[in-house]
């Protein structure tokens, strides 16, 4: 078991071509204290590497969503620092895609217009944006639903629209806050596979917040287990299983071993 458990960072997975091992974002001693006095995060040290699929796993209230919002620039820190590899702070923001736990669509706009939103905000012309929007809708498997309103498709489809909206802006880093938590397991499995397929075809980095051990092991190249009250990084598990991970990975021994390793780490956080 020991080789799987690795508290350090920076162990690269050579199985993924797009993973370079170069740091994209480094968080040093990041802390967050809310105005109510609640300490959400304390001394979070984490390096996110270019092209990796990183999961943040932890019990409720460990501040994983708060951390994601800080990375997105939606919430400030009360300590520590974030540094992007290219030194950019403001320009990076436009290259961030964010997928919320609920689909967060505009109910009054069609699927097409929802996906168009990020491009429209950039001031891109309709003629230039249309093929990109159509491609994003096609990528998430929703061709033919462009003119539907968000209340019409199912929950899984709404989440696909939300992913398409994040894709259309061609993000460098995709932040996902428990995106599939409210979906049934079968739909979630399918979306997991589609997400991996999309990730393989692009050079994004994904930071994926989840409280499912199985989902984190299935998807990610690295699982960061977080500790609660105050939230901090407890340990890291590198999931060195090769991509593409297909349906048989879910039933493989490797998968089971990684699940056990992550579960063990998680239960250690409860005891500590």
Partner 1 sequence: MNEKRGITIRNVAKGPGPLRNFMARIGAPVLVGLGFLTIWEVLVRIAEVPHYILPGPLLIIKTLITDWHTLFPSLMVTLSITLSALFVATVAGVGVAVLFAQSRMVERTLFPYTVMLQVTPIVAIAPLIIIWVKDIQLSLLICAWIVAFFPIISNTTLGLNSTNHNLLDLLQLYGASRRQIFWYVRLPSALPYFLGGLRISGGLALIGAVVAEFVAGTGGNQSGLAFRILESSYTLQIPRMFAALFLITFSGVLIYIATTLIAHFALHRWHESAVRRES
For residues 127 to 166, the per-residue mask of contacts with partner 1, x marking binding by CB under 8 A and - elsewhere, is ----------------------xxx---------------
Interface segment toward partner 1; rule CB under 8 A; list 119-127, 129-137, 237-245, 255-263 = 119-127
Q: Is 260 in the site for partner 1 (CB under 8 A)?
A: no
Per-residue tokens: 68: 């994601």
Q: What angle do CA 263, 203, 85 make, to 5 degrees?
A: 85
Taking the least distance from each CB to partner 1, the nearer of 162 and 236 is 162
Which of positions 3-62 make contact with partner 1 (CB under 8 A)?
Answer: none
Which one, of 218, 224, 259, lies nearest residue 6 by Cα? 224
CB contact at 8 A, 113 and 106: yes
Least spacing, CB of residue 176 vs partner 1, in Å: 13
SS3 string, 90-149, reads CHHHHHEEEECCCCCCCCCCCHHHHHHHHHHHCCCCHHHHHHHHHHHHHHCCCCCCCCCC
Count of chain residues binding partner 1 (CB under 8 A): 24
Rule CB under 8 A: say whether 118 interacts with partner 1: yes
- Which of 189, 110, 99, 106 is CA-nearest to residue 142? 110
Q: Which stretch binds partner 1 (CB under 8 A): 77-85, 113-121, 153-161, 230-238?
A: 113-121
Q: Does 181 bind partner 1 (CB under 8 A)?
A: no
Is residue 96 a contact point for partner 1 (CB under 8 A)?
yes
100 is a contact residue toward partner 1 (CB under 8 A): yes
Name the one range near partner 1 by CB under 8 A: 112-120, 181-189, 228-236, 263-271.
Answer: 112-120
Out of 22, 121, 144, 252, point to the residue binding partner 1 (CB under 8 A).
Answer: 121
Nearer to partner 1 (CB atom), residue 179 or residue 235: 179
Using CB under 8 A as the binding rule, the residues of this chain from 68 to 87 that contact partner 1 are 69, 72-74
* End-to-end Cα, the chain, rounded Å: 20
Residue closer to partner 1, measured from CB, 87 or 108: 108
- Strands 39-49 and 23-33 turn out to be antiparallel
Burial of 270 (0-12, 13-18, 19+ CB in 10 A): exposed
CA distances (Å), origin 129, targets 67, 98, 119, 121, 143: 32, 19, 7, 11, 16
- The residue among 100 and 189 lying less far from partner 1, judged by its C-beta, is 100
> Smallest gap, in angstroms, from Cβ of residue 76 to partner 1?
13
Nearest to 78 by CA among 254, 230, 255: 230
Footprint of partner 1 (CB under 8 A): 69, 72-74, 93-94, 96, 98, 100, 102, 104, 106-109, 117-118, 120-122, 149-151, 169
């Amino acid at each position: 078991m020991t080789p799987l458990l690795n508290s350090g960072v920076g162990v690269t997975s050579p199985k993924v071509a797009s993973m370079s091992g170069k740091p994209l974002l480094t968080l040093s001693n990041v802390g967050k204290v809310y105005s109510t006095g609640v300490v959400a995060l304390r001394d979070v040290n984490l390096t996110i590497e270019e092209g990796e699929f990183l999961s943040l796993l932890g019990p409720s209230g460990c501040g994983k969503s708060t951390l994601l919002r800080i990375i997105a620039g939606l919430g400030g820190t009360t300590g520590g620092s974030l540094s992007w590899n290219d030194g950019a702070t403001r320009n990076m923001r436009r290259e961030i895609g964010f997928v919320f736990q609920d689909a967060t669509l505009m109910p009054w706009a069609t699927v097409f217009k929802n996906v168009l939103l990020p491009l429209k905000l950039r001031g891109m012309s309709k003629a230039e944006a249309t093929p990109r929007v159509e491609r994003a809708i096609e990528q998430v498997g929703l061709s033919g639903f462009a003119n539907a309103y968000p209340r019409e498709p199912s929950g899984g489809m709404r989440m696909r629209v939300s992913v398409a909206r994040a894709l259309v802006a061609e993000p460098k880093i995709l932040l996902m806050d428990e995106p599939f938590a409210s979906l049934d397991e079968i739909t979630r499995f399918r979306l997991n596979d589609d997400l991996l397929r999309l990730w393989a075809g692009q050079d994004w980095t994904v930071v994926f917040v989840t409280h499912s051990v199985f989902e984190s092991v299935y998807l990610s190249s690295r699982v960061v287990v977080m500790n609660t009250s105050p939230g901090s990084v407890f340990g890291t598990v590198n999931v060195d299983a090769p991509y593409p991970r297909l349906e048989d990975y879910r039933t493989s021994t490797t998968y089971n071993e990684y699940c056990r390793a992550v579960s063990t780490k998680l239960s250690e956080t409860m005891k500590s």
